[in-house]
Amino acid sequence: AQSVTQPDIHITVSEGASLELRCNYSYGATPYLFWYVQSPGQGLQLLLKYFSGDTLVQGIKGFEAEFKRSQSSFNLRKPSVHWSDAAEYFCAVVGSGGGADGLTFGKGTHLIIQP
Amino acid sequence: DVKVTQSSRYLVKRTGEKVFLECVQDMDHENMFWYRQDPGLGLRLIYFSYDVKMKEKGDIPEGYSVSREKKERFSLILESASTNQTSMYLCASSLQGGNEQFFGPGTRLTVL
């Protein structure tokens, strides 16, 4: 069965500092990978996705993520965080087989921005 | 833009009541999903549907059922609500399996 691990429950970063959120996945075949963000009281918004091709993917709001098959990782990065980036971040995986499968989510990382 | 709407943002029900959560998407997506979100547990898949009148169990279907009579609408039903079903419920849709899912704003359900 597929699984996603986000090792950090909470991360605190100073405004303007760089950010890296970790995500490790377990999946037997080629996965599709996603990062979603959830602001308080809101639904999930897609930040970026990896299906194939270039392993460094760019997303919205200045985020990027790198797929590393050898490490089964898909870490999210941002060079300089803004106070508005404070939110919950979820990594997710689904199989690329084309079936209508639900996403498997990590438990999330809560990002706190210090002024 | 894809829009996924959910009938209520907040809902309070009593134990034993039958509860309907409605979800509508406006982009002709084939697939629709129901998740519940709990602190420290992330999102867990309850049920999904890949076509009208078709449904598949997700990871935690116990205590829930679903209905999809029209392509754009996917309902989650709690036959007899219990306090352990107090949660945030999120609906999502996608064009086909493996593609990104678009989420609604969520319904926060409290069962007293």
Q: What is the pLDDT of residue A28?
A: 72
Residues B33, B101: contact at Cβ < 8 Å?
Answer: yes
Per-residue pLDDT tens over the stretch A58-101: 999 999 999 999 999 999 999 999 999 999 999 999 865 555 67
The mean pLDDT of B15-33, rounded to a whole number, is 95
For B97, the closest chain A residue by CA position comes to A100
Residues A4, A104: contact at Cβ < 8 Å?
Answer: yes
Q: How far is A72 from chain B (nearest CA, A)?
A: 18
Per-residue pLDDT tens over the stretch B44-93: 999 999 999 899 999 899 999 999 999 999 999 999 999 999 999 999 99
User: Using the 8-state DSSP alphabet, how is residue A85 labeled?
Assistant: G
Question: How many residues would you count in chain A?
Answer: 115
Residues A94, A102: contact at Cβ < 8 Å?
Answer: yes
- Using CB atoms and an 8 Å cut-off, which of residues 27-66 of chain B contact chain A? 30-31, 33, 35, 40-45, 48-50, 56, 58-59
Whether the pLDDT of residue B31 is over 60: the answer is yes
Sign for the CA dihedral angle at B61, B65, B69, B72 comes to negative
Q: What is the pLDDT of residue B1?
A: 67
CB atoms within 10 A of CB B52: 13
